[in-house]
Chains A and B, each alone.
Chain A
């Protein structure tokens, strides 16, 4: 009797019940993540990424091709008949020049990666950036290497100029990289000149901050910041950024420094994933050699 009454009440308020259940599910998912209960969360995330990543890759390739075709169409449209052949020849030459320029730029980038490999004496896997974070709240990128290429969570990701971030999710063919500018990103930091340590964190929409610097520590604008190697994820000595401002709030226990990241994270095309974390001691020497 009671069950049927309850059932009738639930049926009458079905709309609200469904809303409450779904909201509760979302709330529990977030709670599970905050409590580091990652099994379910990781499964759901990877399942969705696994489903969506082929479409994302396909879209990236299609958009590239379509924009190329469209560009050619726009370039050629409206030309007079007598100039057509010359225009075509010029377009072909221009395309060759563009391709050569692109190859020069790519070669420069790859030379940078090779120089980094020589300097840091580390094993790495190069990857292309195929997608960027869908929201304005978080800073992540999608790269075209996944578990099939040996990617796994927490591997550090760098560019020739310095630190990019770490891998947070992996599918067989892609991996998601949390950038150092992400508001929930954190890494051990070391002021290269004075050897003072702190924690470099993302700063919602405004670069990086080094927190927990002792109040009396000597930190000035222009100081270079590298990774400290503490925390077990990022090797020691990877360039992170340059100090652009130092903030000492009255009554605060620590001072903070605002950083300009070494890497232009908005224009990343290729990155490098560092595979062998056991060679970490070589990094600082390497980064100093580069300077």
Chain B
């Protein structure tokens, strides 16, 4: 619980105040989504569902989107991640990267579908221009965070 609250506050602060400086061409990694990916495999699907909802709600409140949009997306992703965590657990770097990419793309597609359903204004091509770069950037940041212990060890060995 403490990890969840601290992670949520850290993400909220970092995403709103820090990401401007690491955005590439106005594309920012989705740290809340990474929080979902990192927390969900460690808890039961029931808890993951509630965690995903709260994380999404925070993301919605801090962004300009309709409240519930990310809450819906992250609830579903959180549930699926927790449910499949035993089957999908892997230490292979490339597989981890692909899984993160697939998850981030799934979140983007689901967001697009919900926005189209509720707001009905988004043409497909510009939306893909948002989904794909965000998914790639999020997956790369998530992968680097996952590999942080190994990277640190390699760095220490090198020094």
Contact surface of A with B, Cβ cutoff 8 Å: 14-15, 18-19, 22-23, 25-31, 33-34, 41, 44-45, 48-49, 52, 55-60, 63, 130-140, 142, 168, 176, 178, 182-184, 203-206, 266
Contacts and interface: CB of A to CB of B under 8 A. Distances in A.
Residue from the set A56, A140, A203, A206 with the largest chain B CB neighbour count within 10 Å: A56
Contact of B126 (A34, A55, A131, A203): A203
**What interface size band does chain B fall in?**
35 or more
B69 interface: yes
Given A48-B61, A52-B62, A56-B12, 6 more contacts: A29-B67, A30-B67, A58-B13, A131-B62, A134-B12, A205-B129
Given A26-B68, A26-B75, A52-B9, A134 B19 contact: yes
23 contacts: A19-B75, A22-B75, A23-B75, A25-B68, A25-B71, A26-B69, A26-B72, A26-B75, A30-B69, A34-B119, A52-B61, A55-B9, A63-B21, A130-B17, A131-B16, A133-B64, A134-B15, A134-B19, A134-B28, A136-B26, A137-B65, A182-B64, A183-B121
Contacts of B53: 22, 25-26
Interface string B120-132: 0111001101100
Nearest to A25: B53
Given A15-B45, A55-B9, A27 B72 contact: yes
A144 to B, nearest CB: 12
A176 B53 CA distance: 22
B99 interface: no
Contacts, number: 159
Contacts of B15: 134
Interface in B88-136: 111, 114-115, 118-119, 121-123, 126-127, 129-130, 133-134
Contact of A63 (B18, B26, B134): B18
B130 A137 contact: yes
Contact of B67 (A33, A142, A266): A33
Contacts of A168: 64
A49 B61 contact: yes
Contacts of A206: 126
Nearest to A139: B64
B14 interface: yes
Nearest to A165: B64
Given A26-B75, A176-B64, A204-B130, A44 B57 contact: yes
Contact of A14 (B32, B46, B72, B133): B46
A182 B58 CA distance: 19
A58 B64 CA distance: 21
